[in-house]
Amino acid sequence: MKLGAIATGIDFYDRKTECSDLWGYLENDHVVASGPRRLGKSSIVNRLREEAAAKGLLAQHVDVQGIEGAQAFIDEISSHFPDDSIMGYLSSLGDTAKQWFSAVKKFELKGPGGVGGGIELQANAGQPWHRSATALQARLTAVPVLIFIDEFSVFLQKLLASNQKEAEALLAWLRAWRVTPGVACRFLFTGSIGLNALLEKYGLSAQFNDCYEYPIGPFKVNAACDMVSAFAQRDGWFINTATASYVCERVGWLSPFYLCLLLDETTKAARDRLDETPPLSQGVPTRELTRDDVDSAYERLLSARSRFVHWEQRIHRDLAGADLAFANLVLTALAKNETGLTQRQLHARLAKLEPDPDPRAARLQTILGKLQEEGYTSPVDASGRVKFLSFLLRDYWGRNHV
């Protein structure tokens, strides 16, 4: 099982509904796949990339997390779709490509490898990257390519902070490209930072109103239990239905990452138990995972600071001053309450940090949005409460900060 890396092959489990939905929306729209961290968004995108050829599409997964600047962004996309790959693909277009053109209902094939459709080039001539942007758009607009832009919001956040005018120009060009009549290519954007909240902060929401937002959620209970059982069996362990359900209960938020993390540690706890105990003592069959193994694994994970310290590092990286103090206090207060707290209760707890109620309320909303985007906390539920998503992360925070 994969712990943190993109899940491929047999490590990619379920998500059939999500993949089917995304293919349906991509026929008519460019898409933003949204959701907090550790939900497997990149793994879903990678599975779509693997399925793309059967649908007549040339697809590439472009991770822009480490890219800085509009020129580097354009160059990164261009490097994933070189001319020889484009030409080779176009020359081999067959019935599968016709399926895609038929699905998008905007193009006609004009003979072997030919495509129809007008191209309206869009780029700000005042930008130093104008020529590169125009060339890229000209090469890809009328080609059935799928451009998966991973961690776009991370890239955009850095660019907005360093050069807001360039970021605005880049967003305007991308939108103009996407809404050009007769576009066969498709963009799918993902990111671990909420793109909508970031755009709203800078007054740029209109630059993405042409994209369909598709939220990625956690596993359903049945799928999560089935995955736990399947992965345990694959590694040579037996786990009964009740124990598989118990793994899910202890995780709480059914993220594939946390499920695999606890299951992996559970198998280690069981292995250590069997090393110290006769194989059939207390009637427990050899290589069966038990509830005690799950509880032992849970405690081991809470004691392994290295498993969670990066969550703290992200908070310190992205927030400072009063915002950081607010975030730490919110997380500490929520860690003390398994059922969460209402916004009014959180508001009262923050009074010492900000006596004025209006600025306090505004800052609280900003911090709650940030924590939700990063995968710490839930949205406000029907009863007005907010809580930690992951029980593991909640209990780690409580053990180290309360």
Specify whether the CB–CB gap between 154 and 193 falls below 8 A.
yes
Residue 162 lies in a domain: yes
- Which is nearest to 186 in space by CA: 322, 82, 33? 33
Q: What's the distance, CA 127 to chain centroid?
A: 31
**Residue range of the domain that includes 364:** 307-401
Domain end (from 287, 303, 319): 303
Residue 261 lies in a domain: yes
Task: Mark whether 333 and 393 lie in a shared domain.
Answer: yes
The pairing of strands 186-190 and 341-342 is unpaired
Task: Mark whether 199 and 314 lie in a shared domain.
Answer: no
Task: Mark whether 278 and 328 lie in a shared domain.
Answer: no
pLDDT at 389: 92
Rounded to whole angstroms, the Cα distance separating 322 from 3 reads: 34
238: which strand partners?
288
Query: DSSP secondary-structure letter at 376?
Result: S
Task: Mark whether 201 and 285 lie in a shared domain.
Answer: no
The amino acid that residue 87 corresponds to is: M
Assign 227 to helix, strand or coil: helix
Residue 228 lies in a domain: yes
Rounded to whole angstroms, the Cα distance separating 107 from 98 reads: 9
Task: Mark whether 182 and 59 lie in a shared domain.
Answer: yes
**pLDDT by 10s per residue, the chain, length 402:** 566 678 878 888 889 999 999 999 998 899 999 888 888 888 998 899 999 988 888 899 999 989 999 999 999 999 999 887 777 766 666 555 556 555 565 544 343 344 444 455 566 667 899 999 999 998 898 888 899 998 898 899 899 999 999 999 999 999 999 988 878 899 999 876 678 878 888 999 999 999 999 989 999 999 999 999 999 999 999 999 999 999 999 999 999 999 999 999 999 999 999 988 765 555 555 789 999 999 999 999 998 888 888 888 888 887 888 899 999 999 999 999 999 999 999 999 999 999 999 999 999 988 998 888 788 998 888 888 999 999 999 999 999 887
Task: Mark whether 113 and 252 lie in a shared domain.
Answer: no
Rounded to whole angstroms, the Cα distance separating 254 from 260 reads: 10
The amino acid that residue 261 corresponds to is: L
Residue 1 lies in a domain: no
Tokens of 197: 């909240």
CATH code where residue 242 lies:
1.10.8
Residue 101 lies in a domain: yes
List, in sequence order, every beta strand (DSSP E) within 162-211.
186-190
Burial class of residue 297 (count of CB atoms within 10 Å of its CB; 0-12, 13-18, 19+): buried
Rounded to whole angstroms, the Cα distance separating 64 from 156 reads: 9
Residue 388 lies in a domain: yes
Q: CB-side exposure of 113: number of CA atoms within 13 Å?
A: 8
Residue 102 lies in a domain: yes
CATH code where residue 332 lies:
1.10.10
Task: Mark whether 264 and 325 lie in a shared domain.
Answer: no
Domain end (from 215, 243, 271): 215
Q: What is the 3-state secondary structure (H, E, C) of 114-165?
A: CECCCCCCCCCCCCCCHHHHHHHHHHHCCCCEEEEEECHHHHHHHHHHHCHH
Tokens of 378: 């839930």
Residue 3 lies in a domain: no
CATH code where residue 121 lies:
3.40.50.300
Task: Mark whether 145 and 32 lie in a shared domain.
Answer: yes
Q: What is the pTM of this model?
A: 0.82
Task: Mark whether 333 and 351 lie in a shared domain.
Answer: yes
The amino acid that residue 197 corresponds to is: A
Task: Mark whether 294 and 337 lie in a shared domain.
Answer: no
Domain end (from 175, 192, 215): 215
Q: What's the distance, CA 377 to chain centroid?
A: 15
Task: Mark whether 35 and 131 lie in a shared domain.
Answer: yes
Number of structural domains found in the chain: 3
pLDDT at 167: 95
Specify whether the CB–CB gap between 283 and 315 falls below 8 A.
no
Task: Mark whether 211 and 225 lie in a shared domain.
Answer: no
